[in-house]
A and B are shown apart, each in its own frame.
Chain A
Amino acid sequence: MTGEPMSPEDRDLLAAEYALGALDGDDLARARSLAASHAGFRAEVERWTGRLSPLLDEVAPASPPDALWPKIEQRIGAQAAGPPQPGANVVQLRRRVGLWRGLAAGATALAASLALVLVTQPPRTVAPVQAAAPAPLVAMLGDESRDMKLVASFDPASGRLMVAAASDMPADPGHAHELWMIPADGKPRSLGTMPGPKMRAQLPMPIALQFREGVTLAVSVEPMGGSPTGLPTGPVIASGKLERA
């Protein structure tokens, strides 16, 4: 959904229209996609929202029904007790992955790019004593517009991870795409920033041992050099779970 390049003026105007809320259909989808991938666009939307936000002072207040607060309290109680912040991104990731999983079936283009990745993987030399080498794991990382973005493959025998973009990654100078692994404990671990549309990495043993079925891989947009906090800070543009190849 990258479309043809837009001039900066058109982009700023689209940011204004998006903040205003007047867009629908393809224009809205395009603005959402830009907001997810383009920090400059996002900032312009934020500034426009700021310009228009005093209008909200014109809205007459309305008391919500008394029964509403107890419902909120109850839903908070249902969430984990204590400060929830460190996991907040992860909760969001899980929900997204859930959505993606439901959509993942049946794309032939996807199967083709997956095959490509597997073919380009360096052949494994299996030691004779190793009766059954662990099966390679693959993950298809998609975004919310149901476009497959990246394919990841991991070879447990060698600890090699390969990630390749299956469609155009939004070019975003000034930002990095950072790859994350989210194991069962829900804590994202950075696997580094992607140098380009392809990334090969030899994973250190402690990380490699955590690569198993069901582990989530995700790509977020971060400042150059990667997330300053060690956790994803920018929007997640693609995520998917590791499965047996």
Chain B
Amino acid sequence: MDRAAIAPERAAESRELAPLLSGIAAGDRSALSTLYQRTSAKLFGICTRLLPSEADAQDVLQDVYLTVWRKANLYDANKASPITWLAVMARNKAIDRLRARQLGIDDLDAAADVADESPSALEVIEQGQEHDRLAKCLDELEPNHGAMIRAAFLDGATYAELAERESVPLGTMKSWIRRGLQRLRGCLER
């Protein structure tokens, strides 16, 4: 995976944000402040989209930037653009919070610990993805499948919730999405 794998639309933004992450890794607080100014609206948008509670969204956003402060050295420019790394971190932490809430876990410190092994602890590997291409591939799927995949990724809907929403059996929903994902990969790899 080389730098060329990052989508061209990300390149200019990457050039601006990557030095900020290096600065943060070296302990530069003003770099974190600048990063927050440039990226917090995008990340907060992701948090509020996923979390019904505004307080939770604010909490998760704080957690994202605290994590960036502690772990900016783990950012790997060869794997993903800075904004994708940040957006995925926000999305994964928001999903973790959502699931913890759904389980009725109020001790969010413990939840955050459990969450260390869940998606927020994971990185993201970009392979030159662009939004237009992904959208086109999603449109090529059978009607519904693309919408279901969007709802799961962007709204945090689980299989069970999607099945209920669409009034289909759970098994049907699973097979729709699984088939959708397999075809999506095929389309993206063409």
Q: Is A2 an interface residue (CB 8 A)?
A: no
Q: Which residues of A (66-112) have their CB < 8 Å from a CB of B?
A: 68-69, 71-73, 75-76, 79, 82-85, 88, 91-92, 95-96, 98-99
Q: How far is the CA of A143 from the CA of B45 in the complex (A)?
A: 34
B: contact size bracket: 35 or more
Kindly state whether residue B56 has any CB partner on chain A within 8 Å.
no
Q: Which of B116-153 contact A (CB under 8 A)?
A: 116-119, 121-127, 129-131, 133-135, 149-150, 152-153
User: In the assembly, what is the distance between CA of A82 and CA of B26, in Å?
Assistant: 8
Any chain B CB within 8 A of the CB of A210? no
Q: Which of B74-132 contact A (CB under 8 A)?
A: 79-80, 84, 87-88, 91-92, 95, 99, 102, 109-110, 112-114, 116-119, 121-127, 129-131
Bound-state Cα–Cα, A13 to B182, Å: 8
Which residues of chain B are near A99, meaning CB under 8 Å? 110, 113-114
**Partner pick for A20 among B62, B122, B153, CB 8 A cutoff:** B153
Digitize A127-153: 1 where CB-to-B-CB distance is under 8 Å, 0 elsewhere.
Answer: 000000000000000001000000000
Question: With A72-B66, A85-B70, A235-B121 given, is the CB distance from A55 to B41 under 8 Å?
Answer: no
Given the contacts A43-B125, A84-B27, A51 and B185 also touching, CB distance less than 8 Å:
yes
Contact A64 B159 (CB under 8 A): no
With contacts A22-B157, A88-B70 taken as known, whether A35 is within 8 angstroms of B62 at the C-beta atoms is no
Q: Is B29 an interface residue (CB 8 A)?
A: yes
| Contacts A28-B99, A53-B129 given; does A45 touch B153 at CB 8 Å | no
Interface: B33 (CB within 8 A): yes
Whole-angstrom CA separation of A18 from B99 in the bound complex: 13
B17 interface residue, CB < 8 Å from A? no
Closest 4 A/B residue pairs (Cβ): A83-B27, A61-B41, A54-B131, A64-B44
Sample 11 A-B pairs with CB under 8 A, ordered by A number: A13-B181, A16-B178, A20-B152, A21-B95, A35-B117, A35-B119, A35-B122, A46-B124, A48-B181, A73-B29, A235-B117
Using CB atoms and an 8 Å cutoff, list the residues of chain A in contact with chain B: 13, 16-24, 28, 32-33, 35-36, 42-43, 45-65, 68-69, 71-73, 75-76, 79, 82-85, 88, 91-92, 95-96, 98-99, 144, 235
